A and B are shown apart, each in its own frame.
Chain A
Amino acid sequence: MKKNYILEDLDCANCALKIEEGVKNIEGVTACSVSFVTEKMIVEIEDGKEKEVEKEIKQVVKKIEPDTTLREV
């Protein structure tokens, strides 16, 4: 299933890359794309794993960019 997020206050482009890379490595994530310009993240998650994956996504974002808040749209 596809989920869209907004990464508020995503200020550093390198972090966007790192977040993308980090989220891709989460088990249960099949694809992830972060756009630095639009502050958007699209994640594809295997069905049934949404809950755990979402938790991990939050951790990854917090770890790489503590100032960024993750919001689902």
Chain B
Amino acid sequence: MKKRLRKIIIAFIIFLIAILIGKINFINIDENVLTIIQIVLYILSYLIVGFEVVKKAVVNIFHGEFFDENFLMSIATIGAFAIKEFPEAVAVMLFYQVGEYFQSYAVKKSRKSIASLMDIRPDYANVKQDENIEKKSPEEVKIGDTIVVKPGEKVPLDGIIIEGTSMVDTSALTGESVPREVKVNDTILSGCINLNGVLEMKVEKEFGESTVSKILDLVENATNKKAKTENFITKFSKYYTPIVVFLALIIAFIPPIITKTDMLDWVYRALTFLVVSCPCALVISVPLSFFSGIGSASKKGILVKGSNYLELLSKTEIAVFDKTGTLTKGVFDVQEIKNEDGISAEELLELSAYCESYSNHPISISIQKAYGKDIDKKRIIDSQEVAGKGIISRIDEKQVACGNIKLMEELHLENIQPVDGIGTVVYVAINKQYAGYILISDKIKEDAPKAIQELKKAGVRQTVMLTGDNKEVAEKVNQELKLDDVYSELLPIDKVNKVEELLKNKKEEAKLAFIGDGINDAPVLARADIGIAMGGLGSDAAIEAADIVIMTDEPSKIATAMKISRKTLKIVYQNISFALIVKIGVLILSAFGLASMWSAVFADVGVTVLAVLNSFRALK
């Protein structure tokens, strides 16, 4: 790199001297001698800066590579020498090399900044054996080993804490800047940074299977799944160079024959064509922009599995959400306890908890959780499940019935009004007397309403919610979220069908994204144009099934992802149109003899450097 820069500087100084002695004849020597000195200096300068290029061109010709940029540059400059445009020849080679230098500097720099963005790879693990601690590479650590993570260190492997409490920074994984507290028996994921306490943990996954490896693998390989735009550029560049070279040949020979004008002038124009015949600006900046975009997303806890998905995301017009676990927390909590006269709320909850204590149903579990005390099994004399309706138990001397409205009807209870609420209502009757109800429901995520609004702002036309829950629950949830369409009481297969239907009715260019929690909606995630899984942290199923994984469980991250994708695509299009306009402009101008080779090389190199710099913006 340094050597290259030195060569450029030396060649540039010699080049300047050659020009200067032509302008100011210091020592009053003969004009002819002076010209010869000048030519020698030009050739010297050219060889210093361009020898490598010419050598590569020759080698590549033997390999059968004709349209390679070295070859084109060599032809353009040697051609310029041949028609006695010496300063031009040197300048073109010089600026070409300056451009190459800048370009490879910029590329290195951006590779580095992207790498630092994903600097979550742990370097070592402190393995504890007996009382000794040994530093090992994370790959060597086995499942079941005990490792120690000191403050400031990265957690190298996934595991479970066996000693110590601490705050950990999960921002590298989730983009979430607030540290999380961890204690004994908590699962801790590789890639987190331990902030204050010393933690001892038991390794549960090998390095290759640990979260950090999976994430790195995903992001690093993301650019191998190329976007449509990238494939377009690949195709375009295949034809662009041969076409420009062919045009150059035509310009060099046909017009002088027809118009009988000076051939040298036309050759000069043709050589200018060759200078802009490399599609470098496009070929470099487009993948770089996509990768910057993917890097920037991963920094915010959004894993994009390929450039193609980032591209598709920017075209998303229909966002289909699964309800439970995606827009709502998916955790059922007791929201309300309504007791009738003659019984206290506490007593109602206690009896319900006892009544349902033999059931593993999520509803029972949430009632147990709300009750919070141990169940004295001796108090339960008998417990019978009434399929699809509820449970009837004998607790102490009381008969307690907990269940849905159908159970209450079966018991012929009077004065029960069906309760209208979001969630599941558990009615309770004690000794065949209605005693009240417990409302259990899922909570809407705090940022869900904002997420829907933001998506609309980001260009999504239609938002849809699919749920297996009943209509009332779905509509209650939607009062707060205000999605465009809600489809309820769907079985998993119905969700696939619904998405199929939406896919069939949309326009070809409009893309459909399905957002789920990845747990039981893998078929839908696969069927949608883009499958987005929420709360991917630690869930292999979600990471497997989706195209985009949101590491936290905030739906508002989807809007963030869309913004990143739109920005990236905007930069990609800017680069493409900018490069094309400049190149075509130079081609037209030089065809009419209005552009010099100088300006052409400036334009060509300048476009590449600017496009690379522009693609940096996608990182922010």
Q: Could you tell me if B69 and A14 are in contact, using CB atoms closer than 8 angstroms? A: yes
Inter-subunit contact B65/A36 (CB<8 Å): no
Instruction: From A12, A39, A40, give the contact of B280 (CB < 8 A).
Output: A12
Instruction: Select A37's contact among B56, B64, B114, beta carbons within 8 Å.
Output: B114
Q: Is the CB of B237 within 8 A of A37?
A: no
Complex contact B59–A66 (CB within 8 A): yes
**CB–CB B226/A17 < 8 A:** no
B287 touches A35 (CB 8 A): yes
Per the 8 Å Cβ criterion, residues 63-119 of B in contact with A are 63-65, 68-69, 104, 107, 110-111, 114
| Stretch from B216-224, B418-426, B511-519 at the A interface | B216-224
Residue pair B221, A17 in contact (C-beta under 8 Å): no
CB proximity to A under 8 Å, residues B175-225: 220-221, 223-225
Contact call A33/B226, Cβ cutoff below 8 A: yes
A70 within 8 A of B: no
Q: Is residue A42 contacting chain B, with contact meaning CB distance below 8 A? A: yes
Q: How far is the CB of A2 from chain B (nearest CB, A)?
A: 11
**With A35-B287, A63-B65 in contact, is A14–B226 under 8 Å at CB?**
no
CA distance A35 to B234 in the complex (A): 12
CA distance A64 to B437 in the complex (A): 76
Q: Contact partner of A11 among B64, B107, B223, CB < 8 A?
A: B107
> Closest CB-CB distance, B243 to chain A, in whole Å?
15
The answer on a CB contact under 8 Å between A37 and B69 is no
Chain A nearest CB from B594 CB (Å) reads: 28
B284 contacts the other chain (Cβ, under 8 Å)?
yes
Contact of B111 among A13, A21, A37, A64 (CB under 8 A): A37
The 8 Å CB contact of B284, one of A20, A36, A40, A66, is A36
- The residue of chain A having its C-beta at the shortest distance from the C-beta of B70 within the complex is A12
The smallest C-beta distance from A42 to any residue of chain B, in angstroms, reads: 5
Give the secondary structure class of B's interface.
helix
Residues of A8-51 contacting chain B, CB below 8 A: 11-14, 16-18, 20-21, 33-40, 42
Complex contact B220–A38 (CB within 8 A): yes
B601 CB within 8 Å of chain A? no
**Number of residue pairs across A and B with beta carbons under 8 Å?**
63
Least Cβ–Cβ distance between A45 and chain B, in angstroms: 16
Q: Which residues of chain B (446-471) have a CB below 8 Å from chain A? A: none
Which residues from B are CB-within-8-Å of A18?
Answer: 65
- B430 to A: closest C-beta gap in Å: 64
- Are the CB atoms of A17 and B65 closer together than 8 Å? no
What residues on A are CB-neighbors of B220 within 8 Å?
Answer: 38, 40
Main secondary structure of the interface of A (DSSP, over half): mixed
State in angstroms the CA–CA spacing of A35 and B223 once bound together. 6
Tell me the count of chain A residues lying within 8 A, CB to CB, of chain B: 21
Q: Does B278 contact A (CB under 8 A)?
A: yes
- Is B161's beta carbon under 8 Å from chain A? no
Chain A nearest CB, measured from B52 CB (Å):
10
Instruction: Specify which chain A residues have a CB less than 8 angstroms from the CB of B225 in the assembled complex.
Output: 33
B279: Cβ under 8 A from any A Cβ:
yes
A20 to B238: give the CA distance in the assembly, Å: 12
Task: Let me know if B291 and A63 touch, CB within 8 A.
Answer: no
Contact, CB under 8 Å: B224 / A40: yes
Q: Complex Cα distance A1/B64, Å?
A: 30
Asked whether B18 is an interface residue with its Cβ less than 8 Å from the other chain, the reply is no
Q: Please, which residue of chain A has its CB at the minimum distance from the CB of B615?
A: A37
B400 contacts A by Cβ under 8 Å? no
Using A37-B114, A40-B224, A63-B65 as known contacts, say yes or no to A11 and B104 having CB atoms under 8 A apart. Answer: yes
Whether B278 contacts A37 by the Cβ 8 Å rule is: no
A64 to chain B, nearest CB (A): 7
Q: Which residue of A lies closest to B224 (CB)?
A: A33
Measured CB to CB, the nearest residue on chain B to A22 is: B65
A38 with B223: CB separation less than 8 A: yes
Instruction: Report which of A17, A42, A64 forms a contact with B224, defined as CB distance below 8 A.
Output: A42
List the B side residues contacting A66 at CB < 8 Å. Answer: 56, 59
Contact mask B225-248 → A, CB, 8 Å, 1/0?
Answer: 110000000100110000000000
Please, which residue of chain A has its CB at the minimum distance from the CB of B295?
A37
Chain A residues near B284 (CB-CB < 8 A): 13, 36
Identify which of A12, A34, A63 contacts B69 (C-beta below 8 A): A12
Query: Would you give the shortest CB distance from B231 to chain A, in whole angstroms?
Result: 10
* Contact (A13, B287) CB under 8 Å given A63-B63, A64-B65, A66-B59: yes
Contacts of B283 in A (CB 8 A): 13-14, 16-17, 36
B279 & A14 in contact (Cβ 8 Å cutoff): yes
Residues of B within 8 A of A35 (CB): 221, 223-224, 287, 291
Interface centre among A17, A39, A66 (most CB of B within 10 A): A17
B288 within 8 A of A: yes
- Closest-by-CB residue of A relative to B291 is A37
Chain B residue contacts of A34, Cβ below 8 A: 224
Instruction: State A6–B278 Cα separation when bound (angstroms).
Output: 25
Contact indicator A37/B288 (Cβ below 8 Å): yes
Cα–Cα distance between A33 and B64 once the two chains are bound (Å):
23
In angstroms, how far is the closest chain B Cβ from the Cβ of A69? 16
Residues of A within 8 A of B104 (CB): 11
By a CB distance below 8 angstroms, the chain B residues around A36 are 223, 283-284, 287-288
Distance from B69 Cβ to chain A, minimum over Cβ atoms (Å): 7
A14 to B234, CA, bound (A): 9
A42 touches B221 (CB 8 A): yes
In whole Å, how far is A13's beta carbon from the nearest beta carbon of chain B? 4
Q: Could you list 27 A-B pairs, sorted by A, with CB under 8 Å?
A: A12-B280, A13-B280, A13-B287, A14-B68, A14-B237, A14-B280, A14-B283, A18-B65, A20-B234, A33-B225, A33-B226, A34-B224, A35-B223, A36-B288, A37-B111, A37-B288, A38-B221, A38-B223, A38-B291, A40-B220, A40-B223, A40-B224, A63-B63, A63-B64, A63-B65, A66-B56, A66-B59
- A-B pairs with the 9 shortest C-beta distances? A35-B223, A13-B284, A33-B224, A13-B283, A37-B291, A63-B63, A14-B283, A35-B224, A36-B287
Using a CB–CB distance below 8 Å, which chain B residues touch chain A? 56, 59, 63-65, 68-69, 104, 107, 110-111, 114, 220-221, 223-226, 234, 237-238, 278-280, 283-284, 287-288, 291
A14-B279, A16-B283, A37-B110 are known; give 5 further A-B pairs, CB within 8 A: A13-B280, A13-B283, A14-B237, A38-B111, A38-B220
